[in-house]
Amino acid sequence: MRFAIIGAGMSGILAAIKLREAGYDDFALYERAARLGGTWRENTYPGIACDVPSHLYSDSFEPNPDWSHHFSPGDEIYRYFEGVARKHGVESRIRFGAEVVRCEWRGGRWQLETANGLRDAVDVVIAATGVLHHPNVPDFPDAASSTARAGTTRRGFARCSSCRPRRSARSRTTSRPSCASRCRARSTAPGALGLRDHGVEVKTDKSGRSYYALYCLKE
């Protein structure tokens, strides 16, 4: 029985290891990027971290007693999964730069095609593509005229890392808004902007979606 794993992030790496552990060694991983890592490869903004405690955000068979933080930074998490993949021989099974663009059930098997021309016929497809690298940009007022840059957070929602600063007459401090969602709002802006004091305000964009606006103040 042949398997195809689409995506070489955390889930794809784990799927490959567990397939081999169960006695299935005929498989390939298809990764559209040039290296593994999934969301921890794509998201590299300053201050990125995981909102799950690191000792829980680990493979049970590869505990790491050396996490630097309770909620470890993204580059450390990336190195952890890279090390797990290397230790278990997963890297040699990854076909990098191979984005799967077609997957059709035909003739009793899944027929796969990639953007770079690879073809494969497999019995089982494991989708480990993830969704945490697609930005969801809120339609906030004056977005077109601002200098904001959209990126993604760990949860896949949008942030604005360099909105146009404005001056507050009362506090004589610089205020920069940063948009994020859920718990990311409290961890994204301080690291990205290097600011100490910040507050959160819930706002609604033009389409009715809610987002958090972080206002960080620096003397």
Tell me the whole-structure pTM to 2 decimals.
Answer: 0.69
pLDDT at 142 (0 to 100): 60
Cβ neighbour number for residue 112 with a 10 Å cutoff = 21
Amino acid identity for residue 147 in this structure: T
Q: How far apart are CA 21 and CA 24, in angstroms?
A: 7
pLDDT at 43 (0 to 100): 85
pLDDT at 130 (0 to 100): 85
| Architecture field, domain 3-127 | 3-Layer(bba) Sandwich (3.50)
Q: What are the boundaries of each domain within the chain?
A: 3-127, 150-218
- Both tokens of residue 55? 């000792």
**Dmax over Cα atoms in the chain, in whole Å?**
72
pLDDT at 48 (0 to 100): 87
Per-residue pLDDT of the chain (219 residues; tens, 9 = 90+): 999 999 999 999 999 999 999 999 999 999 999 999 999 998 887 888 998 999 999 999 999 999 999 999 999 999 999 999 999 999 999 999 999 999 999 999 999 999 999 999 999 999 999 877 666 666 666 655 544 444 444 333 333 333 333 334 343 444 444 444 444 444 454 455 454 444 555 566 667 766 555 544 443
Task: Please answer whether residues 38 and 57 qualify as being in contact, where contact means their C-beta atoms are separated by less than 8 angstroms.
Answer: no
DSSP 41: H
pLDDT at 209 (0 to 100): 64
Q: How far apart are CA 181 and CA 205, in angstroms?
A: 13
**DSSP calls for 123-150:** SEEEE---STTS------TTTTTS---E
3-state secondary structure of 114: strand
DSSP 87: H
pLDDT at 3 (0 to 100): 98
